[in-house]
Amino acid sequence: MGKAILLVCDGLGDRPFAERGGKTPLQVAKKPNSDELAREGINGQMDVISPGIVPGSDTAHLALLGYDPFQCYPGRGTFEALGAGIELKEGDIAFRGNFATVAEDGSMRILDRRAGRFGSKALADALNGIEINGVEVIVKHTVEHRCAVVFRGEGLSRFVSDVDPHEEGLPPRKCIPTRSERNAERTARIVNEFVRRSHEILSEHPENEERRRKGVPVANILLLRGAGAHESVEPFQERFGFKACCIAGASLYKGVAKFLGIPTIDVEGATGNANTNLKAKAESAIEALKTHDFVFVHVKATDNFGHDGDFDGKVRMIERIDAEMISLFREIDAYVVVTADHSTPVSLRRHSADPVPVVICGDGVRTDTVQKFDEFAAASGGLGRLRGKDLIPILSDLMGFYKMFGT
Amino acid sequence: MGKAILLVCDGLGDRPFAERGGKTPLQVAKKPNSDELAREGINGQMDVISPGIVPGSDTAHLALLGYDPFQCYPGRGTFEALGAGIELKEGDIAFRGNFATVAEDGSMRILDRRAGRFGSKALADALNGIEINGVEVIVKHTVEHRCAVVFRGEGLSRFVSDVDPHEEGLPPRKCIPTRSERNAERTARIVNEFVRRSHEILSEHPENEERRRKGVPVANILLLRGAGAHESVEPFQERFGFKACCIAGASLYKGVAKFLGIPTIDVEGATGNANTNLKAKAESAIEALKTHDFVFVHVKATDNFGHDGDFDGKVRMIERIDAEMISLFREIDAYVVVTADHSTPVSLRRHSADPVPVVICGDGVRTDTVQKFDEFAAASGGLGRLRGKDLIPILSDLMGFYKMFGT
Mean pLDDT for chain A? 96
Q: What is the DSSP string of B34-86?
A: HHHHHHHSEEEEEESSSTTPEEPHHHHHHHHTT--TTT----HHHHHHHHTT-
CATH homologous superfamily for the domain B4-72+233-399: Alkaline Phosphatase, subunit A (3.40.720.10)
Query: Taking CB atoms and an 8 Å limit, are A364 and B16 in contact across chains?
Result: yes
Classify B229 as helix, strand or coil.
Answer: strand
**B209: Cβ contacts below 8 Å, ≥ 6 apart:** none
Query: Under a CB-based contact definition with an 8 Å cutoff, are residues A114 and A98 in contact?
Result: yes
The whole-angstrom distance between residue A65's C-alpha and the CA centroid of its chain comes to 13
Give the minimum alpha-carbon distance from B208 to chain A in angstroms, rounded to a whole number: 29
Cα(A372)–Cα(A406) distance, rounded to whole angstroms? 38
**Spatial contact of A126 and A199, defined as CB atoms under 8 Å apart:** no
CB A189, CB A174: distance < 8 Å? no
Measured torsion, CA atoms of residues B178, B179, B184, B185, in degrees rounded to the nearest 10? 80
A300-319 per-residue burial string, b: 16 or more CB within 10 A, e: under 16: bbbbbbbeebbbebbbbbbb
Contact yes or no for A407 and B54 at CB 8 A: no
Distance to chain A for B165, nearest Cα, Å? 13
The verdict on a CB contact (< 8 Å) between A364 and B45 is no
Paired with A147 in beta bridges are A97, A141
Q: Residue B257: in which H helix or E strand, if any?
A: helix B251-259
Model confidence at A315, pLDDT cuts 50, 70, 90, reads very high
The answer, yes or no, to whether ipTM is higher than 0.85 is yes
Determine the pLDDT at residue A275.
Answer: 79
CB contact under 8 A, A390 and B96: no
- The band of B407, judged by pLDDT with boundaries at 50, 70 and 90, is confident
Q: Residue A149: helix, strand or coil by DSSP?
A: strand
Segment (H or E) for A288: helix A278-288
| Alpha carbon distance A360, A43 (integer Å) | 6
Instruction: Report CB contact under 8 Å: B345, A367.
Output: no
Q: What is the share, in percent, of chain B residues with pLDDT greater than 70?
A: 100
Residues of B in contact with A397 (CB under 8 A): 52, 54, 352-354
The SS3 call for residue A217 is coil
Burial label for B310, CB within 10 Å (0-12, 13-18, 19+), is middle
Helical axes A76-83 vs A251-259, angle rounded to 10°: 100
DSSP B381-407: STTEEEEGGGHHHHHHHHHT----S--
Nearest-5° Cα angle at A169, A167 to A170: 75
Q: Average pLDDT, stretch A96-110?
A: 95
Kindly report the nearest CA distance between residue A391 and chain B, in angstroms: 7
Cα nearest neighbour of A370 on chain B? B380
| Closest alpha carbon within chain A to B352 | A397
pLDDT attached to residue B273:
73
Residue A297 has pLDDT above 80, yes or no: yes
Rounded distance between C-alpha atoms, residue B59 and residue B2, angstroms: 27
Listed in sequence order, the residues at least 6 apart from B369 whose beta carbon sits closer than 8 Å to its beta carbon are B380
Residues of chain A neighbouring B73 (CB-CB closer than 8 A): 406
CA of A368, closest CA in chain B: separation in Å? Answer: 7
* C-alpha closest to that of B311 among B337, B341, B348, B339: B348
* Amino acid B175: pLDDT: 97
pLDDT per residue as tens digits for the range A13-65: 999 999 999 999 999 999 999 999 999 999 999 999 999 999 999 999 999 99
Q: Say if the Cβ atoms of A407 and B96 lie within 8 Å.
A: yes
Residue A270 has pLDDT above 90, yes or no: no
Contact yes or no for B225/B231 (Cβ under 8 A): no
Residue B269, pLDDT score: 79
pLDDT at B305 over 80: yes
Q: Which secondary-structure segment (H or E) carries A305?
A: helix A301-307
Residues of chain B with Cβ-Cβ distance to A384 below 8 Å are 45, 379, 384-385
Alpha helices (H) in B52-181, listed in sequence order: 57-64, 76-83, 121-127
Q: How far is the C-alpha of B384 from the C-alpha of B378, rounded, in Å?
A: 8
Give tens-digit pLDDT for B25-48.
Answer: 999 999 999 999 999 999 999 999
Distances (CA, A) of A111 to A171, A196, A218: 9, 17, 10
Separation CA B20–CA B312 (nearest Å): 10
d(CA B242, CA B292): 8
The H-or-E segment that residue A393 falls in is: helix A391-399
For residue B56, the distance in angstroms to the closest alpha carbon of chain A comes to 4
Q: Which residues of B touch A (CB under 8 A)?
A: 15-16, 22, 45, 49-60, 69, 73, 76, 96, 225-226, 345, 347-348, 351-354, 375-376, 379-380, 384-385
Contact between A387 and B51 using a beta-carbon 8 Å cutoff: yes
Question: How does strand B294-299 pair with strand B244-247?
Answer: parallel
Spatial contact of B104 and B273, defined as CB atoms under 8 Å apart: no
- In whole angstroms, what is the distance from residue B400 CA to residue B389 CA? 18
Across the interface, whether the CB atoms of B76 and A367 are under 8 A apart is answered: no
> Which of A305, A49, A255 is CA-nearest to residue A146?
A255
Is residue B130's pLDDT more than 90? yes
Residue B77: list chain A partners with CB under 8 A.
none
Q: Which residues of B touch A382 (CB under 8 A)?
A: 45, 376, 379
Q: B379 to chain A: which residues are within 8 Å by CB? A: 366, 368, 381-382, 384
Phi, psi dihedral angles at B229 (to 5 degrees): -115, 170
Q: From B349, which residue of chain A is nearest by alpha-carbon distance?
A: A400
A12 DSSP β-pair partners: A343
Answer whether A405 sits within 8 Å of B56, measured CB to CB: yes
DSSP output for B180-224: --HHHHHHHHHHHHHHHHHHHHHHT-HHHHHHHHHTS----EEEE
With beta carbons under 8 A apart, name residues in chain A contacting B53: 393, 405
* Nearest by CB: B376 against A364, A382, A403: A382
Q: What is the rounded average pLDDT for all residues in chain B?
A: 96
Q: Model confidence over B238-282: pLDDT tens digits? A: 999 999 999 998 889 999 999 999 999 999 877 767 778 999 999
Cite the DSSP H helix spans in B267-401: 278-288, 301-307, 311-321, 327-329, 375-378, 391-399
- Of the residues B73, B354, B371, the best mutation for testing chain A's interface (the one with the most A CB atoms within 10 Å of its CB) is B354
**Chain B: closest CA distance from residue A405 (Å):** 5
What are the backbone angles phi and psi of residue B406, rounded to the nearest 5°?
90, -170
pLDDT tops 90 at residue A402:
no
Q: Å from A327 to nearest chain B CA?
A: 24
Contact B267, B281 (CB under 8 A): yes
Q: Given an 8 Å threshold on Cβ–Cβ distance, is A404 in contact with B351?
A: yes
Domain extent listing, chain B: 4-72+233-399, 80-229
Which residues make Cβ contacts (< 8 Å) with residue B14, sequence separation at least 6? B24, B25, B26, B306, B314, B343, B344, B345, B346, B347, B354, B375
Q: What is each CA distance from A355 to A274, B189, B296, in whole angstroms?
A: 24, 53, 37
Burial state string for B156-189 with b = 16 or more CB within 10 A and e = fewer than 16: bbbbbbbbbeeeeeeebbebbbeeeeebbbbbbb
Q: How far from A248 is each of A10, A255, B136, B142, B145, CA to CA, in Å?
A: 11, 10, 60, 56, 53
Residues of A in contact with B385 (CB under 8 A): 383-386
| B197-236 pLDDT per residue, tens | 999 999 999 999 999 999 999 999 999 999 999 999 999 9
The number of CA neighbours under 13 Å toward the Cβ of B173 is: 15
Are A384 and B73 in contact (CB < 8 Å)?
no
Q: What does the pLDDT average to over B80-88? A: 94
